[in-house]
Structure 1
Amino acid sequence: MSKLKITYRKSAIGYSHDQKATIRSLGLRRLNSVVVHDDTPTIRGMIFKVRHLVSVEELPDRDAPADHPGDDMKR
């Protein structure tokens, strides 16, 4: 399962209480704080709700083999 790196970029001051609660539920406490979550529909929905306050980066799977050119070459 892939991971999502979520960074809290913009203050939630002036936004609705439920958006502030969503930021807290994601585990974000201060501006520029970063959390890593599994990529699930629940987390995606929370990110969608506060997409204007956060930035998201998809992290590569550690379990999946890396796609590097030349890896399949035999020596």
Structure 2
Amino acid sequence: MAKIRVTKVRSEINRTQNQKRTLEALGLRKMGHTVEHDDTPSILGMINNVQHLVSVETV
């Protein structure tokens, strides 16, 4: 299964509670924090909800 690398590039200040919880569920904390996840439909759906706050690249 493919891996993707997700990096938080924008702040969660003044965002909805749903977007804040999605970032927390992805494991992203501080600005510039990077995590790797499997390329599954559930992860891609979460990334789609906060795509304006993160950058995504395949590994």
> Which gives a bigger RCO, structure 1 or 2 (Cα 8 Å, sep 6+)?
2
Gaps of 5+ in 1: 60-75
More helix by share: 2
Cα deviation digits, residues 35-62 of structure 1 (max 9, x gap): 0000000000000000000000011xxx
Determine if the alignment matches structure 1 residue 58 to structure 2 residue 58. yes
Corresponding residue pairs, total:
59
More strand by share: 2
Question: Match of 1:54, as an amino acid?
Answer: V
The CA distance in 2 between the partners of 1:15 and 1:27, in whole Å, is: 17
Structure ID, larger Rg: 1
Percent identity of equivalent pairs? 49
The CA distance in 1 between the partners of 2:23 and 2:9, in whole Å, is: 11
Detail structure 1 runs of 4+ shifted over 3 Å in the superposition: none
Alignment root-mean-square deviation, CA: 0.3
The CA distance in 1 between the partners of 2:53 and 2:11, in whole Å, is: 7
Gaps of 5+ in 2: none
TM-score with structure 1 length normalisation?
A: 0.78
